[in-house]
Amino acid sequence: MKQGLGTQLRHLIELLDGAVQQAYADAGLDYRPRYTPVMRVLAQQQSTTIGQLAELAGITQPAVTQTVALMKKEGLLLVAVGGEDGRQRVVRLSSQGEALLPHLQMCWQATKRAADSLDAELAFPLSTCLAQAITILEQRSFGERIRDASKKVAATP
């Protein structure tokens, strides 16, 4: 039986994230892969708001908010009130987060090389396919596609 798209994607994420998580453990790091988009942005910028972080990391604001809360709890980030009305949260690396960066950057380089080797073995690069799928879904969402397909299914006797 052929697996559905969602099942295939979840399995792919399990295969990728599991290996990356193990690489961090092998390097002696207690670190989750989901922290990487936040860490990468903060490695480039001293501080940023939650909204800017979401935009720069390319993930949703709720995902950033949850990830930042976890990272703050683990002592990797400092979060302060900012903005004129005090509703914004400004995020920056803690000293613990800054100390972790050089170790993470080595892991990220190894992960990049591994991803490049995977792309090289595929008929077409996975990274290119994913970027294209994201771009297309940003233009017309999967939800819209499902609604359109549902109309056609309901109209078919």
**CA nearest neighbour of 83 among 52, 57, 62:** 52
- How far is the C-alpha of 14 from the C-alpha of 60, rounded, in Å? 20
The amino acid occupying position 85 is D
For the beta sheet containing 88-93, the strands, ordered from the edge strand earlier in sequence to the opposite edge, are: 47-49, 88-93, 77-82
| Euclidean distance between CA atoms 19 and 8, whole angstroms | 17
**Model pTM score:** 0.83
- pLDDT digit string, tens, across residues 94-125: 999 999 999 999 999 999 999 999 999 999 99
Q: In this structure, is the dihedral angle defined by the CA atoms of residues 32, 143, 135 and 44, taken in order, positive or negative? A: negative
pLDDT reported for residue 81: 86
Sorted by sequence, the CB contacts under 8 Å of residue 15 that are 6+ apart come out as none
